[in-house]
């Protein structure tokens, strides 16, 4: 776990393995960003010129290493690009700082300590840099034989320019560390192989975290699910030797005036069931529990931050496998709500487990419900690999979540719930089918889920199928593999709810 400190030392005097500074583009000129004045002085005011000679342009995502001159205690200077320099009186955006810090932390893997002399004008800037560095330092090596010998993540991040005695700066750093650690918890779960992360193992992880952080955890096993009539969760899990679970993990605050319910899709492996996924589409399906991981981590983060809001997480956990006991296309399931669903495609299983969890969450009459799921490939086709879709039964609430996501640096886009697509899910056999029109499939899935939300309850659905699992090369603070998508949005949503803004 990477340590975080706020240092009062100057960039020239702090002992570290590397000094991280920012550079930006001002027209056609490379300029050194605020925070690195002492470093530039050590280069006799020629740091930008030296970097330009080495080919640096100041573009975001760019990083240039160079040996430190006499006058600096650190042996290496790492210059990271911040893009275009802001206009006079303005500062660099939080996401720009977050990504730059993440890039630096990734490059400095194996280092014991790095000093970050990036621009800090406000406590929010300090938070963004800390968060980016801690997320960029993430690595998942638990299953590598040479993991003990491999380079370890950056061990310590020292923020220069932050004010350790200032309450706002100290609180910002503490928040950044708590949120980053919970995002990394979600990443660990997403990256864990499905032979180890079964529904029961996921439930046990929630139980352990609950004990550590004072959360109330209730776990319904397959017998309790059958007794309670959770036909959706059981229908998905029937084909697996690893039975399903429904986990309720709750954080409460004595002064809370509102309750936020979070529901996460937790398919610990999705083969597609009888509607089997083809080769090339099932290799990364351990990530189909990313929604549940995000919800779990967000609840723990709310507890660690002591937010004055009640946050209840519902983790709908199952493994979708083909076998003689698996649900077949054409089967009809009686859901927890009492509605019947004709299963036309067993690979549209996420909406089935979510439906039961949404109904159960609605029984507690929360002020709002937000579900999170890697739900549809259609959303990836619509929005790409880095943007999640937002649907809701309240336009203002959808807009608020979109604004929150953009504020915390998570790309998202509001999506509609067209009423005309509902007819495509009409079934001659059951109350509703789990499939509808192919075009607009992500919206159809949202319409299906809406059927199981309690009357009068504000609800939103986040389809994180695109950004939940990154298969390309790492960038910024985003690693290859599980990303922890939507955790930051959920935590900020809880904060806004606690403040009475929603």
**Residues recognised as catalytic:** 277, 351
Please check whether residue 369 is in contact with residue 261, taking contact to mean a CB–CB distance below 8 angstroms. Answer: yes
Helix residue spans in 323-412 (DSSP H): 350-362, 377-383, 395-408
Q: Pairing state of beta strands 245-251 and 310-320?
A: antiparallel
Task: Assign 3-class secondary structure to 127-176.
Answer: HHHHHHHHHHCCCCCCCCCCCCCCCCCCCEEEEECCCCCCHHHHHHHHHH
CB half-sphere exposure, 223, CA atoms < 13 A: 0
Tokens of 196: 């180890």
What does DSSP assign to residue 69? P
**Phi/psi of residue 182, nearest 5 degrees:** -75, -35
What contacts 491, CB < 8 A, 6 or more positions away? 179, 182, 298, 301, 302, 305, 408
Angle between helices 199-213 and 167-191 (to 10 degrees): 160
248 SS3 class: strand
| Helices and strands: H and E segment counts in the chain | 14, 20
Tokens of 94: 């939080």
Look at residues 129, 87, 142, 77 and name the one whose alpha carbon lies nearest to residue 107: 77
């Amino acid at each position: 776990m990477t340590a975080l400190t706020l240092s009062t030392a100057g960039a020239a005097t702090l002992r570290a393995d590397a000094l991280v500074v920012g550079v930006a583009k001002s027209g056609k000129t490379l300029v050194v960003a605020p925070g690195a004045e002492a470093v530039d002085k050590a280069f006799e005011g020629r740091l930008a010129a030296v970097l330009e000679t080495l080919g640096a342009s100041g573009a975001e995502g760019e990083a240039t290493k160079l040996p430190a001159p006499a006058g600096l205690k650190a042996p290496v200077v790492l210059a990271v690009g911040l893009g275009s320099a802001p206009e006079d009186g303005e500062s660099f955006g939080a996401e720009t700082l977050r990504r730059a810090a993440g890039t630096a932390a990734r490059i400095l893997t194996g280092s014991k300590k790095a000093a970050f002399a990036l621009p800090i004008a406000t406590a929010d800037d300090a938070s963004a840099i800390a968060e980016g560095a801690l997320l960029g330092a993430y690595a998942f090596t638990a299953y590598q034989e040479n993991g003990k010998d491999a380079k370890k993540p950056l061990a310590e991040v020292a923020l220069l320019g932050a004010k350790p005695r200032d309450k706002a700066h100290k609180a910002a750093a503490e928040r950044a560390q708590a949120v980053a650690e919970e995002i990394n918890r979600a990443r660990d779960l997403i990256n864990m192989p499905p032979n180890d992360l079964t529904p029961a193992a996921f439930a046990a992880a929630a139980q352990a975290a609950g004990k550590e952080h004072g959360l109330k955890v209730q776990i319904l096993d397959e017998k309790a699910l059958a007794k309670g009539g959770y036909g959706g969760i059981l229908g998905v899990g029937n084909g697996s030797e690893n039975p399903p679970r429904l986990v309720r993990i709750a954080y409460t605050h004595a002064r809370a005036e509102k309750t936020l319910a979070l529901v996460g899709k937790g398919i610990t492996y999705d083969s597609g069931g009888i509607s089997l996924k083809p080769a090339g589409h099932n290799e990364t399906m351990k990530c189909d529990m990313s929604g549940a991981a995000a919800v779990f981590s967000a609840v723990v983060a709310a507890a660690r931050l002591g937010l004055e809001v009640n946050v209840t997480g519902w983790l709908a956990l199952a493994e979708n496998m083909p076998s003689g006991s698996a649900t077949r296309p054409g089967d009809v399931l009686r859901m927890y709500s009492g509605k019947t669903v004709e299963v036309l495609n067993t690979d549209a299983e996420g909406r089935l487990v979510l439906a039961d969890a949404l109904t159960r969450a609605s029984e507690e009459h929360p002020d709002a419900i937000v579900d999170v799921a890697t739900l549809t490939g259609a959303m990836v086709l619509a929005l790409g690999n880095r943007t999640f879709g937002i649907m809701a039964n309240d336009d203002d609430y959808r807009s608020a979540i979109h604004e929150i996501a953009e504020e915390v640096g998570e790309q998202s886009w509001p999506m509609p719930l067209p009423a005309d697509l509902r007819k495509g899910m009409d079934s001659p056999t059951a109350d509703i089918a789990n499939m509808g029109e192919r075009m607009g499939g992500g919206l159809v899935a949202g319409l299906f889920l809406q059927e199981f939300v309690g009357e009068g309850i504000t609800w939103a659905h986040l389809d994180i199928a695109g950004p939940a699992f990154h298969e390309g090369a790492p960038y910024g603070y985003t690693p290859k593999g599980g990303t922890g998508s939507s955790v930051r949005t959920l935590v900020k949503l809880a904060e806004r709810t606690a403040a009475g803004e929603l």
